Every structure is written in structure tokens, then in C-alpha cells.
Structure 1
Amino acid sequence: MDNQRNLLLAVALSFLLILGWDAAMRYVYPEASLMGGPDTEEQAAADGTATVAAPAASGAAIEGDTTAAAGPVDLDKALASEQRVRIDAPRVEGSINLVGARIDDIELKDHRQTVDKDSRPVQLLSPQGTENQQFAQFGWLGQGVSIPGAKTVWQADGDTLTAGKPVTLSWDNGAGQTFRIRFEIDENYMVTATQTVANTGEGPIVVQPYGLITRTSANASPSTWNVHSGPIGGFGDTVEYDPEYDDLAESGTYNPQGGATDWIGFSDIYWLSALVPDNGKDATPGFRSLGNNLFRADLIYAPQTVPAGKQISRTTRLFAGAKESVVLDQYEDAGIQNFGKAVDWGWFEWFVKPMVWLLRQLYDFAGNFGVAIILLTILIRGVMFPIAQKQFASMAAMKAVQPKMKAIQERYKDDKQRQQQEVMKLYKDEGVNPLAGCLPLLIQIPIFFALYKSLILAIEMRHKPFALWIHDLSAPDPAKILNLFGLLPFDPPGFLGIGVLAVLLGITMWLTFRLNPSAMDPVQQQIFQFMPWVLMFVMAPFAAGLLIYWVTSNLLTLAQQSYLYSKHPQLRAAAEKQKADQAMVKARDEQRKD
């Protein structure tokens, strides 16, 4: 009775853990709306050519980035304006808004919003007032000088910005000062903005260049315990993965204190928009909440005096694109410190990044990331095969010394310390390692975690199909049993979303447990019988690629165990004898009950 009660309690606690974990994750990290917009209208701003009394080190002095239309702005209508300079680069397209000199239209040519073939490209930057507004702006604060603002209409010297053709915007304030912004774009996702002020007036002026990124959090990807989404930046030797949007909304501002600014911006799981100063030592970084789900990251440079007849320039780069680790590492190698860490690899970066590299090589070979995961599993099991051989040899040796162990236990049953000493001496004399069976499991833990992080973070996995119904290896198995594989119009939540892969995981794990000989007591035996089915529920919400890895690993384990049993017949005999003994005990217990 006690054993049955303990078993039922273990089962109940396991399912409570599954339910509680799923509920807690949904409460703490609710899914963000992909199409949500601001809740209410934003604040009105000053007009576009206001004279600023004095430069300010605080980003709060920047005006014009909270202007809102009377209602939600239609994206296509906003982009149809003729006051735009087209962007057509190898990997991005979009436009620059001549009103305010804003980069507020960036589409990523190589990445689509969904797995559908007719899906539109990812719209990373969008005009102000649209549902997914996110834009970059470059401007000046000034002292005793009329400066351009959010409503200033700039003049362009070209109609299209390309990788080999820069475009310069200019504005004359009519008082002897000309402001220019020269935009260049490279082969990937980096825009270079060079801000120049030419003073042809009678006296000196003081200006303070700045760059900013404003975005809504309504369409941000969820920030979880192991993947950061939100404000991010590199400062000195560190990368700060904080604050969260909610924390910033509560505090109002956040000023990083890590040293010179290397870069600052906003991160989603797969996308990044960031400002990179040419000299981070005289750039003051800051994050600010603007209200109504709007947030800003800004770089404000130190004030500069422009004498009469002179000009000064300041260069800032804008990264607006996908977090492709190869591309980010190239920029880091070119001088942007810690830019590769914009991908939140975590503490195991040293292990996760080689895993991503290996998967990319296997993908280049196989042409399918699902096949690449299977090949990776085979490689891992191949590398671990010598360890498995030692494990089975140790298990065989353990079986061989069982009679001697029992004799020692009987001889020193009243002296536990001496008993332990004699057992350890027996292990040493016979060359037996009782912990050898744990080694393969311990080795697989970091491999499993590295693959898990790879599937979450590596954009190379996003929307990559495998075969049949698996169209996205980074998403859960869509063939869920409870909604009859999509025939019923609802999506089972979390752990109840059991798909075909989760069922295969449970079956293959149950078979591996059945094949292993065990000396556990009956309660432990029963726990290991239902553990595969508990894991089936736990793993159901995980990425399909992760389940493919685990199912393949289980199948290889079954094949490996069958082979090694043929090499160690004493283990097979022991396993069969143990199962026969357990069957006899079970039958005897049932007869006693009758």
C-alpha cells in the first residue's frame, strides 16, 4: 500500500509540475501580439524648426519623435508618399522619409514573415503611427541656431540609395547654416549616416549631434528567462541585456554605465536595430519610455563649436537587420566590440556557437536542416560510442561482482563503514567504475542544451522545413492529436499540444528503458515506466527540431544497446533473468491478493 501510495503521489506531483510550469510561463512571459499597435495617441511635439536654447546632455531634450497622427496610420498609405528616397540594397529594400530625415521603411529581402510561400518580407522598420512603428532618426540639438526637426522637409541629391551610390540630404536654415546627412549602405544591413554642419554665418554656433531609434513594444518578441528581447547594448567590455520593456516603462529612463558606448538599440529574438557611434567615448547612451508602449534608444554626442566659415561632421552607423551570427561576427571583426553577442547565447556560448557552425556545415552538405540534425545526432552517438562500450563493460563487470558484493554486505552487515570500504576495495581490485553508466547522460546534457539554444536563437533554423508536415524546425510540431491534426478549429495549449513527434519520443524512450537491465526496487521500476510518458507531455511544446534530435538519439541508443548486448551476453542473460524474476514476483503478489 505504501509503495502504491508513493507511486500515485509521484505521478500527481509530476503532472502538477507540468501544469504549474506551463501556467507560470504563460503568466510571467505572455505572448506578445505580432500585429499590436499603440494603445492611445502619443504626445504632440514641437514644430520642426524650433530654436533650441541650449544643448542638453539628456535625451529628454530631443523633440519630435513622439508625434502621432489623429488615428492609426496605414502602412501602405504612409509608404506611398512621394517625399521618400528609395533604398535598394542586396539584402534590404525600403525608403528614407524626407520629412524628418527618418529611416522608417526597411524590409529584409531574405526573410519572410511566415512559412507561407506568398508571405511578405519581414518589415523591420515602419513609419511613425503605424501598428509596428520603428524608425531611426539623426539630428542636432543647438544653441542660438535654428535646427532641423521632425517636420523639416529635406532635399535629396538622388532618388535611390544603393550599396554603391550614397544619397545626401540637405537643409538650409536661412541663417547661414547648412545641415547635411550623407547615407551609405553596405552589402548586408548596415547604414552609415554622416551628419555635417557647415557654418557660413558671422559667428560661431554650438551644436550637439544625436541619433535615435524609436519603437513600439507591442510587436516585440517575448523576453523569457533564457532569451532576452528588448533594450540591449555593448558598453565597454560588457553587453547589457536589460532593462525589460516593463522595467523601463516603470522607471522612465535607463542610462548604461558600462564605459564607452560600442552600440545601443533594441533586440528581438531574430532581429536587431542598433546605433553604432564612431567614437563611443563622447557619446552619451540612454533608453527612455515615451509612454503608450513607445520606447527610445539614443546616442547624444558632446557639444561641438562650429566657428564661422568652418564645418564639423559626425558619423553614426545604423544596423537594421537579421541577427545572423556570421554577419554579426564579421562586423565585430571589423571593430564593433561584442557585436556578435547581440545574439543572447548565454553562459554556454563557447559550446552553442560551435554547435550552430556544425549544423550549418551539415546543412550545406545535406540541403535540409532536419537531415542535418539527424546527421549531427549520428556524429554525436558515434563520438560517444567508445564511452558506451566502456559503460556496458562496466555494467557487465558489475554483474560479475554481484555475488562478491552480497558476501561483503552479509559479512559486514553490522559495520556499514567497513562494508563501504570493502566494497570500494572490490571495485578497485576488479576494475569496476559504478558511475560509468552516468557519463553518457552527463555528456548529453550540454549537447541537448546547445541544440535547444541553437533552435531558439539561430535564425538559420527559422522557417526551415524538414519533411511531410514539419515546415518549421524552430516551431512546435503542428500535427497535434487533440485537435485531430488541425481538423478542429482550436490550438491545444502548451503541454496538451502533443504531436506525432512527442508520441514517438515517449515510445522510443520507453523502449530504451525496457531494454536496460535494472536493479531498482518496484517503486523505482514503476516510476521509470511512466517517466517517458511524462516527458512526452513536457517536450510537446518544444521545437520540432529538438524532438527530432531526441527521437533519433533514442533509436540509435536502441540499436547501440542491441549491438553491445551481443558483445556482452552476460548482460542480456542478466536482463532476461531479472525480467523473469520480476514477472514471477508480480504473479506471486497477484495470487496472494486473490
Structure 2
Amino acid sequence: MDDKKNIILAVLLTAAILFGWPYVSHYVFPAANPPVTKIEGGKTTPVAAPGTDTADGSAVIRDRAIVLKESPRVPIRTPKLTGSINLKGARIDDIVLPTYSETIAKDSPAVRLYSPSGTADAYFAGFGWQGEGLKTPNKDTVWTAQGSELTPTSPVTLTWNNGAGQTFEIRLSVDENYMISAAQKVSNTGAGAVGVKPYSYISRTGIPKDPDTWTIHVGPMGVFNGAANYDVNYKDLDKGPSTQSFQSKGGWIGFTDKYWLSALVPATDADFAGQFRKGAGTQYQADAALGSTMLAPGKAATQSIRLFVGAKEVKTLQAYERAGVPLFDRAIDWGWFYWFEQPIFALLHWLFETLGNFGVAIICLTFCVRALMFPVAQRQFASMAAMRAVQPKMKLLQEKYKDDKQQLQVKMMELYKQEKVNPLAGCLPIFIQIPIFFALYKVLQLTIEMRHQPFVLWIKDLSAPDPLHILNLFGLLPFTPPSFLAIGVLALLLGISMYFQFKLNPAQMDPMQQQIFSIMPWMMMFIMAPFAAGLLVYWITNNCLSMAQQWWLYRKHPVPAPATAK
């Protein structure tokens, strides 16, 4: 009767985990990157890049190429940025990242980050002034450019005269990476004093396709008064209030995507007013306003701000942080364990640069982790070997006190104390593995350095799930299984490796626990199938190393002959 109850409980527990896990993981562990390949007819083919959203249905969405030709422009050309400056409105609204592709296909277009107003997924930045007693430029102002191209060695200056005694200038320069500097200058040649207040903004239409989850923030973000702020989401602005304001000395404000960032960076010692605003439809804006200045006749005033627009490369962000941008590396949502995740990333990235293959780097990282944990694992396996040695005595106790569960527990505790074994000692390495596994998960999910990195054969992106599914006969059948049934080859290898690892462990005395342990490998196979392939490579390698270590230790501690009843 008890066995039947245990079986029923085990089945119910399995069903609860398999069907409840997708809902839990949606918030705790968001899905891995979309697959970059699919298997069709047994062949690996690239997945097309997702289409763009029209976002604001009230506006007429036009072809980008046509819109780009409608206004005068100055080209932008750096090793990591290409695009143009729109002289109408002094906007930077055309930015492409030539070193990153949308997909792994050879003819894949480069990632486009900025797009002009009126196009799909409009996203741009601009500079302007608020004023008292003067005419300021607006979105329809056409500026005059001094300089034919913005490059790291050739700045561009935009000028405009309001015809009332004030001249406005925006001197733009760019570095070798993703930072554009804007020096906003106003010269007053009029008869009276005027008040000027420079501001800058980032405007975007539509919500990015990357989901904003509990572990990965996507949306409005900034650093205010020395603290990173992830509290504002697009949904918050939609529900209201539609404007959220911040006062800060130094810091930055902008929008973060999973891999990309657009941020306004005032000077480190500058006081600025930042705010996130919701516009019509799905339009959102981040503003940074600097302090106002009363400008006497014959005087000029210049205030500077920087615009970061590009990829969230870890080393690049850290370099800007060392140069004075506060907490710039927090644009990557490392979470509470950033102090642990960053060393994991640094080691993995160094291994990748040294070995040239990301999958091999993950395997070597697993060896490094196992080497560091070797003393702990030795104690774990020694305890497990000791548990195996006392199992014959435990079976005798079970037989003797099979009708008295309470007395059986007392006698088993006495046996553990007498033999100096701890049944919980084997759990310590599992708990130590949890932060390492979570750190690797975050590194695979967050860092652009791991995006689209292949391993071998059909695995073209280790930050995405295994595309080779067993249920559709490895792509021979024309359907894609749902995520919780999309069992790939790596997930199957994970289940098999866990099964043999558990077979090496001492048998549990409690039948219920033994049944749970017997089905756990196959539950983990279903649970881990939607995760990034790199995580499964890590876990499979770790299981194989654990089995090798267990086998070696069990040879040193063989199971004794069965005990005789007394």
C-alpha cells in the first residue's frame, strides 16, 4: 500500500514540475535567445531575422531608404558605427552596427539601432535648447554643417542663427567605439540678456522584442546619484504616471535592450534633470536637461553631454566606467551576484579568445570549476562511500524496525553517529554549483560576446536552445515541437548522464526518495531542454567529470560484504 502511495506521489510531483515549470521559469529564468537555425529536411538552415513592428498605428510608416533621402545629412563612419546625422532637427537618427549581424546567415544585414522618425521602429537622439526671451531651434530647423563626415579624426559642427542675435552651435565628435560627444554652444550678440538651458533626448517608438523579466531588465534605465535604477518599465509608463523624473549629479539616462544601449551621459560633476516620458501610441522618450544660464550681450556659453549608442560589450563599458562614467557596466543587468558573474565571464571570455571555440571554452571552464571544487567533492564522495559502506547495516535496521518508523529513525541516527557519516554531506557541492550555474546562465543570456557563438556540427549558437529535436525526427517531420517537449540531443545526453551519475550514488533508504531520484534525470531532461545549449554542455561535462571522480573514489572505498544479522 505504501509503495502505491509513493508511486502516486512521485507521478503527481513529476506532473507538477513538468507542467508548472514553464510558468515559473518565465519569471525566474527567461527563455534563451531565439534559435538562429532550424532543421528542415535533416539540414540546418538559418532562421530569418524577426520583422520590424510598425509600433504607432496612428502614423504612416514609410520606407527607410526614402525617408533618409528627404533631408540633408552628414555621414558617420567609425570602426563600429556607420550612419548619418540628420541636419533637419540636428538629430542622430541613422545608426548601424557593422560588426554585428541580425542572424548567422552570410547575407544577413547588420544590426540597425537608430532609424528616423516615420519609419518602422523609429529610434533617434537629438539636442536642443529651452529659452527665455529668444527663438530656439526645433525639429524642423535645418542646420548648416561644417565638416563633410563625422569620424574619430574629423568632428562636425552644426550651426544655426535665429536672426535675433543668437547663434547656436553643436560640435559633434566621436571616438573609436560608440561614444558621441556634443558640445552645445550659444553666442549672444543681441541687445539684451537671454536665458538658455540645453537639453538632449532619446526617442523610440515601439517596445523591443527582448522581454523584460525578473532577471533581465529591458527598458528605461539610468544611474542617478551613484545608484543604478532598473525600476522603470514600459508598462509603468503605459499605466501612469506617464512621466517619471530624477534629479542627479552625474550619472546617465537612456534605454537598454538585451544587447544594445542608448544613453545620455552628462559630465561627471554636472547636475541634470532626467525624465522618462510616454508619448502618443507606443512612443517613449528619455530626456536630460542641464542647468540654465543667463547670457549677457556679447557672451557665449558651452555645455557638453555625451551620447552612447551601440553594443553592451563588457570591456568597452568597463573602459568608459574607468574614464569617469559612473556604473556604466551596470547597463548589463548582472543582478545581485555581479561580483561573482563578472569573474566567470572574464575567465570564460579569456578561454574563448585563447581556444577560439566557445563550446570548448565552456568545457574548459567546467574543468576549472571542478578543479577548484575538488576538495569539496572529495569530501562529498568520501561521505557517499561511507554511506555505501553502512548500507548493509541500514537494511538490517529497516528489516528489524519495519513496523516502527519512529524507532527506525532513532536507530538510523545512532548508526550515523557511530559510523561518523553525514547523509547531508553530499548536498554541499550541489548548493555550491547553483551560483556557478546561475552565473553561467546570466553570462550566456546577457553578454553580447556570447551571441551567435557556434560549437560543433548543428549547434550554431550556444546561447540559444538546441535546434535538433527528437520528436520531429531531427527535422525530418515538418513541425516544431512546443518548448516543453522540444527534447534535443543535448537534453537527452543530459538525462542519460544524470541517470548514470545517480546510479553510482548510494541507494536511498526511503522508497519515496528513491523513486524521486530515479525519475529526476528525465524530469531534468524536460526542464533543461529550452535552456541555452551552452548550459547543457556545461552540465553534461560536469556530470561526466563527477562520474569519473566517483568511480575513482569508489575504487579506493569498495563496498564491504553484506553484514550478517545479529
TM-score w.r.t. length of structure 2 = 0.89
* 1:53 corresponding residue in structure 2: none
Cα shift at 1:518: 1.4
> Which gives a bigger RCO, structure 1 or 2 (Cα 8 Å, sep 6+)?
2
Pairing 1:41–2:61 present: no
Contact 2:454 2:462 in 1 (8 A): yes
Which deviates further from its counterpart, 526-535 or 76-85?
76-85
* 1:8 corresponding residue in structure 2: 8
Contact 2:27 2:214 in 1 (8 A): no
- Determine which of 477, 481, 498 is the counterpart of 1:492: 481
Pairing 1:78–2:95 present: no
Structure 1 letter corresponding to 2:262: S
Q: How many residues align?
A: 544
Going from structure 1 to structure 2, the CA distance change for 1:2 and 1:414 (only over 3 Å counts) comes to closer
Cα shift at 1:144: 1.6
Contact 2:388 2:506 in 1 (8 A): no
Pairing 1:557–2:546 present: yes
| CA deviation string 1:220-257 (max 9, x = no partner) | 41101110000000011211112111111111434344
* 1:61 corresponding residue in structure 2: none
**Counterpart-to-counterpart distance in 2, 1:357 and 1:283:** 34
Equivalences for residues 369-518 of structure 1 within 5 A? 369-400=358-389, 423=413, 431-518=420-507
Aligned residue for 2:119, secondary structure, equals: coil
**Counterpart-to-counterpart distance in 1, 2:383 and 2:207:** 57
Contact 1:261 1:284 in 2 (8 A): no
**Counterpart-to-counterpart distance in 2, 1:497 and 1:404:** 44
Cα shift at 1:487: 3.8
**Counterpart-to-counterpart distance in 1, 2:131 and 2:246:** 25
Going from structure 1 to structure 2, the CA distance change for 1:183 and 1:529 (only over 3 Å counts) comes to same
**Counterpart-to-counterpart distance in 2, 1:3 and 1:560:** 33
Contact 2:124 2:203 in 1 (8 A): yes
Structure 2 letter corresponding to 1:515: L
**Counterpart-to-counterpart distance in 2, 1:88 and 1:308:** 38
Aligned residue for 1:501, secondary structure, equals: helix
| CA deviation string 1:388-426 (max 9, x = no partner) | 222222233344556788999989x999899969957x7
**Counterpart-to-counterpart distance in 2, 1:13 and 1:408:** 29
- CA RMSD in angstroms, aligned pairs only: 2.9
**Counterpart-to-counterpart distance in 2, 1:148 and 1:104:** 17
Structure 2 letter corresponding to 1:10: A
Going from structure 1 to structure 2, the CA distance change for 1:489 and 1:199 (only over 3 Å counts) comes to farther
**Counterpart-to-counterpart distance in 1, 2:302 and 2:406:** 81
Q: 5+ unaligned residues in a row in structure 1: which ranges?
A: 43-70, 578-594
Pairing 1:191–2:180 present: yes
- Determine which of 540, 545, 551 is the counterpart of 2:534: 545
Structure 2 letter corresponding to 1:361: W
| CA deviation string 1:507-561 (max 9, x = no partner) | 1111111121213333322221211111111111100100111111112222222
* 1:586 corresponding residue in structure 2: none
Pairing 1:243–2:232 present: yes
Pairing 1:531–2:517 present: no
* 1:200 corresponding residue in structure 2: 189
Cα shift at 1:119: 0.9
**Counterpart-to-counterpart distance in 2, 1:135 and 1:278:** 21
Which deviates further from its counterpart, 94-103 or 380-389?
380-389
* 1:359 corresponding residue in structure 2: 348
Contact 1:220 1:230 in 2 (8 A): no
Structure 1 letter corresponding to 2:197: Q
Cα shift at 1:24: 6.6
**Counterpart-to-counterpart distance in 2, 1:392 and 1:24:** 32
- Determine which of 126, 141, 145 is the counterpart of 2:115: 126
Which deviates further from its counterpart, 489-498 or 138-147?
489-498
Cα shift at 1:21: 3.8
Cα shift at 1:369: 0.6
* 1:522 corresponding residue in structure 2: 511
**Counterpart-to-counterpart distance in 1, 2:125 and 2:197:** 17
Contact 2:207 2:234 in 1 (8 A): no
Aligned residue for 2:559, secondary structure, equals: helix
Contact 1:37 1:219 in 2 (8 A): no
Going from structure 1 to structure 2, the CA distance change for 1:285 and 1:361 (only over 3 Å counts) comes to same
Cα shift at 1:456: 0.5
* 1:266 corresponding residue in structure 2: 255
TM-score w.r.t. length of structure 1 = 0.85
Contact 1:230 1:242 in 2 (8 A): no
Cα shift at 1:41: 2.3
